[in-house]
């Protein structure tokens, strides 16, 4: 119902006042006509009310928000969501830029990462192309400062190509999980102030793309965790490991039955521990217990071939680490570093505190990694089929803690390999606080 402040109610009130004054005047000067005029006035008033109601009802339905076209940002969101679930690359950026260009009243659209143009559509596409390094100083400034920039003339864009038609632009930083990953740029071919709607659209689109990229990353990490769990289960019940260990136990059963019995108990403990794992984190103490059982079984196979050194800071034993992080690194060191080496080899596992981080290092003095293979070691799929590969651990760490927290590998062919894992202790603090709060809520 219209409020008293609405134009409709004000109009109705004015008509009522006019009719009342008219009736009063007729009653005073022409009382014999009062009845007829009153009837006509009342009829006119009813007609006016009916007309106002019909107009108001029709007007409200005509402007029903459901029937109105979607806001440009929402239209872009609706079309780009299924595309950006695959992440941001040249292909998905190209589709996204095309959707923005089709929806927005701008001369050109560009999407970049921190170094190169991922997509460009519109005026100036003869020299602004996808795959090329970022050319304009304005874009480089946004990447450096992380702040939105509005350019009102071609000099501000500073395109190095003479005759570039681009004369103004709004450049917005593209953020994913609080980290600057690129820019979104909307261009015009005329100088001067950009329409407020264009600036607003650019900011909205950048925020939208950032959120969709975060959702895509969450989805990818969920798939990765699921795959990691399946890989972990497969690695924990790896037939080769099982058969080799059983063969070792059978051998000892002939020469040293007591050792065979102890190894059989260890093997049962190893698989029991593997199968009862739940969640994505263990304490460092639990991971080391699991690793120690694995090493006892491996040393029974390789005997004097394998030497293991552990240096673990006791203060870190209750800190959380991702499940199946250390054991794959040690397995990799034994299989690819120590076994191919003539004579005895040493694997050293250390865990120490460095400022606000836990540093875990798995170091071996084996054969090292060939120089041509080193860039591929952390590539997804490399070394698959050998349990949980280094790339899997690398991707899980980045997904949990950020891009700066993947594995770091230093290897010298013929001398050995060191693998570094950094885990932020602040993450452990937050998790323990969450567990405490959850326990309190259960108790209450």
The crossing angle, in degrees rounded to 10, of helices 196-236 and 72-84 is 20
Residue in this structure with the two tokens 């003339």, named with its chain if needed: 153
In which band, very low, low, confident or very high, does the pLDDT at 437 lie, cut at 50, 70 and 90? very low
Q: Three-state SS across 355-408?
A: CCEEEEEEEECCCCCCCCCHHHCCCCCCCCCCCCCHHHHHHHHHHHHCHHHCCE
Query: Under the phi-then-psi rule, with left for phi > 0, alpha for psi from -120 to 50, and beta for the rest, what region is 170?
Result: beta
Point out the least confidently predicted range of 262-271, 324-333, 403-412: 262-271
The answer to whether residue 320 scores a pLDDT higher than 80 is yes
Structure tokens at 289: 């217990």
The answer to whether residue 62 scores a pLDDT higher than 70 is no
In which band, very low, low, confident or very high, does the pLDDT at 81 lie, cut at 50, 70 and 90? low
Structure tokens at 207: 């925020």
Structure tokens at 47: 């007609």
Report the alpha-carbon distance of residue 245 to residue 146 in Å, rounded: 55
Do 113 and 105 form a contact (C-beta atoms < 8 A)?
no
Structure tokens at 191: 């100088």
Q: Report the mean per-residue pLDDT for the chain.
A: 76
- Strand-pair category, 320-322 with 281-283: antiparallel
Nearest to 152 by CA among 173, 169, 171: 169
Which of 4-8, 244-248, 345-349: highest mean pLDDT? 345-349
In which band, very low, low, confident or very high, does the pLDDT at 22 lie, cut at 50, 70 and 90? low
In which band, very low, low, confident or very high, does the pLDDT at 209 lie, cut at 50, 70 and 90? confident
Report the alpha-carbon distance of residue 205 to residue 202 in Å, rounded: 5
- 72-213: which CATH architecture? 2-Layer Sandwich (3.30)
- Strand-pair category, 168-176 with 149-151: antiparallel
CATH T-level topology, domain 277-443: Heat Shock Protein 90 (3.30.565)
Tell me what pLDDT residue 20 has: 56
Q: Is the pTM of this model over 0.85?
A: no
Report the alpha-carbon distance of residue 124 to residue 213 in Å, rounded: 27
Query: Over pLDDT 70: what percentage of the chain?
Result: 66
Calculate mean pLDDT across residues 293-318. Answer: 90
The answer to whether residue 191 scores a pLDDT higher than 50 is yes
The residue extents of the domains of the chain are 7-62, 72-213, 277-443
- Strand-pair category, 345-354 with 306-312: parallel
Calculate mean pLDDT across residues 6-24. Answer: 54
Which of 36-50, 79-93, 168-182, 408-422: highest mean pLDDT? 408-422
Residue in this structure with the two tokens 């997904």, named with its chain if needed: 399
pLDDT, tens digit (0-9, with 9 covering 90-100), for 346-368:
999 999 999 889 999 999 999 99
């Amino acid at each position: 119902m219209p409020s008293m402040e609405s134009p409709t109610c004000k109009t109705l009130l004015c008509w009522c006042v006019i009719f009342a004054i008219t009736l009063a005047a007729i009653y005073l000067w022409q009382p014999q006509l009062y009845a007829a005029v009153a009837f006509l006035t009342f009829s006119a008033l009813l007609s006016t009310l009916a007309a106002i109601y019909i107009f108001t009802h029709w007007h409200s339905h005509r402007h029903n928000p459901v029937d109105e076209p979607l806001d440009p940002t929402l239209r872009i969101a609706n079309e780009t969501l299924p595309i950006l679930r695959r992440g941001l690359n040249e292909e998905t950026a190209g589709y996204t830029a095309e959707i923005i260009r089709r929806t927005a009243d701008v001369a050109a659209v560009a999407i970049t990462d921190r170094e190169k143009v991922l997509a460009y559509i519109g005026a100036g596409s003869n020299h602004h192309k996808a795959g090329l390094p970022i050319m304009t100083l304005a874009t480089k400034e946004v990447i450096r400062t992380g702040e939105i920039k509005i350019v009102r003339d071609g000099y501000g864009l500073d395109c190095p190509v003479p005759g570039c038609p681009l004369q103004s632009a709004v450049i917005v930083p593209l953020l994913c999980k609080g980290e600057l990953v690129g820019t979104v740029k909307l261009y015009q071919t005329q100088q001067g102030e950009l329409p407020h709607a264009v600036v607003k659209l650019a900011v909205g689109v950048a925020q939208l793309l950032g959120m969709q990229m975060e959702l895509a990353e969450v989805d990818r990490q969920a798939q990765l965790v699921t795959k990691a769990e399946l890989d972990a289960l497969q690695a924990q019940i790896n037939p080769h490991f099982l058969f080799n260990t059983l063969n070792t136990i059978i051998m000892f059963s002939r020469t040293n039955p007591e050792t065979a019995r102890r190894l059989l108990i260890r093997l049962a403990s190893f698989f029991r521990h593997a199968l009862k794992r739940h969640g994505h984190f263990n304490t460092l103490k639990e991971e080391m217990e699991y690793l120690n059982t694995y090493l006892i079984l491996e040393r029974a196979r390789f005997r004097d071939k394998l030497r293991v050194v552990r240096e673990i800071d006791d203060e870190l034993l209750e800190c959380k680490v991702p499940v199946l992080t250390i054991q794959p690194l040690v397995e990799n060191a034994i299989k690819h570093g120590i076994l191919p080496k003539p004579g005895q080899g040493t694997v050293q596992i250390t865990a120490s505190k460095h400022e606000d981080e836990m540093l875990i290092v798995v170091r071996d003095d084996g054969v090292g990694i060939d120089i041509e293979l080193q860039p591929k070691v952390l590539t997804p799929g490399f070394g698959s089929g050998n349990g949980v590969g280094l790339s899997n651990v690398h991707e899980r760490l980045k997904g949990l803690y950020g891009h700066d927290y993947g594995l770091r590998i230093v290897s010298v062919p013929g001398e050995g390999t060191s693998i570094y894992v950094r885990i932020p202790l602040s993450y452990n603090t937050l998790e323990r606080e969450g567990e405490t709060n959850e326990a309190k809520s259960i108790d209450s």
